[in-house]
Amino acid sequence: MKMHHKKHDRNHELVELKSKTLEKMGHLIKKVNRHLPDEKVEEFNLAFFQAVREFFTKYLSTAHHATYEEIIKEINHKRIDSRIKGRTTKFLQKIIYVEYARIELGTKRKKQLFNEFKYLVEKLIEREEVQKKDYLKYPKEIVEQLIKKAKTINNKKQKNEEEQRNFLKQINSLLSDAKKALRHNNKESSMQIYNQIEMLSLQLEPHEIDKVYDKLLLAYKKKHPINILLEKAKEAFRSKNKEEAKRIYLQINHYYGNLPEKHKKEFYEGIFRIYKPKSVKEIEALMEQGYYFLAKKDMGKTKDIYEKLRKIYKSLPEYEKNETTKKIFSFYNDIREIFSE
């Protein structure tokens, strides 16, 4: 009996959570078209971010101070439809980018973000609601109910397919605009269009999203937003503006995180070259010293440096090891060659 009460209470909590969240979003959507003074804009954005965080922390029963990364981790552990899980993860990554990089969205993109959140609230709660079994229904009534449900599902499927076609039509139109902007070397415009395409792609099925990114990468090539931001990052480092470099990194991380796995390797090396981890820089500095002592044939100091290198190397994550493995092996071979003479 206790288990039954817990399920019933949880079901009631979720229904209430959905109702309150959608009510909040309704109020925010009404305000989105209004021209707000600067101080109210920040208040408006904060209300949205709080609504998102409150929903997910209550839905997942996590601590109210949980980070978005922790929320994403919890979502990935839940048994829910993989498409909804994927869309939820992408949505939360978008929120991280918008909130922490302090990106001010236009009215259209705000509406898209709000509508995506509403859609996820409805879908996530829908999958959690406990359906009550009514054993008093006659078989005929049950059959009629199942037929009605099947028709509803079919209608929803047809509607979804039509929506997908409309989204793809909008994306193809934006891709044409992007090509024009790129031809005229209009970097700001091309980045804005890229962001719009990314936002629209959130509404697509996973296999369609991959196709969109194939087209995006083909159209943008060297003028991809990541490459444009890397140039800005170089400038920030040259002028020793660390805060700007950090802000740019958040933007780069957003674009990189959204890329399908097969496209990430195209950008990894460029990002790594500019934003080298501290440990990799330490390895490079030690190797410079190592070669200095190696040239002087100082075996003791060369050996000490090699041992330090090994220690740092072992502590590196795998993706950072890839960048230093060849250099360390080369250094090791040079030591053997010099001291075996």
DSSP string, 54-75: HHHHHHHT--TT--HHHHHHHH
**pLDDT surpasses 50 at 261:** yes
User: pTM for the full model?
Assistant: 0.45
Q: Which residue has the higher pLDDT, 157 or 76?
A: 76
Residue pair 7/131 in contact (Cβ under 8 Å)? The answer is no
What letter would DSSP give residue 290?
H
The answer on pLDDT for 203 being more than 70 is yes
Q: 228: burial class by Cβ within 10 Å (0-12, 13-18, 19+)?
A: buried
pLDDT digits over 117-141, tens only?
999 998 888 876 543 444 344 455 6
Give yes or no for residue 226 having a pLDDT over 70: yes
Which residue has better confidence, 317 or 88?
88
pLDDT value at residue 319? 58
Give whole-number Cα distances, 249 to 236, 256, 276, in Å. 11, 10, 12
Residue 287 is predicted with a pLDDT of: 84
180 pLDDT more than 60: yes
Type of residue found at 165: R
Euclidean distance between CA atoms 209 and 145, whole angstroms: 35
Task: Say if residue 177's pLDDT is above 70.
Answer: yes
What is d(CA 83, CA 268) in angstroms, rounded to the nearest whole number? 26
Across 274-295, b (16+ Cβ under 10 Å) vs e yields bbeeeebeebeebbeebeebbe
Q: Which residue has the higher pLDDT, 304 or 207?
A: 304
The amino acid at residue 154 is: N
The pLDDT score that the predictor gives to residue 150 is 64
In angstroms, rounded to a whole number, what is the distance separating the alpha carbons of residues 56 and 62?
Answer: 8
The Cα–Cα gap between 113 and 98 comes to 10
CB 190 within 8 A of CB 216: no
Please tell me the distance from the alpha carbon of residue 55 to that of residue 24, in angstroms, as a whole number.
11
Inform me whether the pLDDT recorded for 78 exceeds 70: yes
Please report how the helices 187-201 and 139-183 are oriented relative to each other, as an axis angle in degrees rounded to 10. 170
Q: Which residue has the tokens 């409805």?
A: 122
Distance, in Å, from the CA atom of 141 to the CA atom of 154, rounded to the nearest integer, reads 20
Taking CB atoms within 8 Å and a gap of at least 24, the contacts of 175-184 are 175/215, 175/216, 175/219, 178/219, 178/220, 179/219, 182/219, 182/220, 182/223
pLDDT-based confidence at residue 55 (cuts at 50, 70, 90)? very high
Q: Would the pLDDT of 86 be above 60? A: yes
pLDDT band at 146 (very low <50, low <70, confident <90, very high): low
| pLDDT band at 2; cut points 50, 70, 90 | very low
Give the span between the Cα atoms of 50 and 113, in whole angstroms: 14
Q: What is the mean pLDDT of residues 60-71?
A: 79
Asked which of 89-93, 169-173, 201-205, 284-288 is least confident by mean pLDDT, the reply is: 201-205
- The total number of residues shown for the chain amounts to 341
Place of tokens 């209300």: 47
Cβ density class 30-58: b for 16+ within 10 Å, e for less: eebeeeeeeeeeeeebeebeebbbebbbb
φ and ψ at 203, to 5 degrees?
-85, -10
Average pLDDT over residues 160-170: 83
Pick from 16, 92, 22, 96: nearest CA to 58: 16
Tell me how far apart the alpha carbons of residues 110 and 104 are, in angstroms, rounded to a whole number: 9
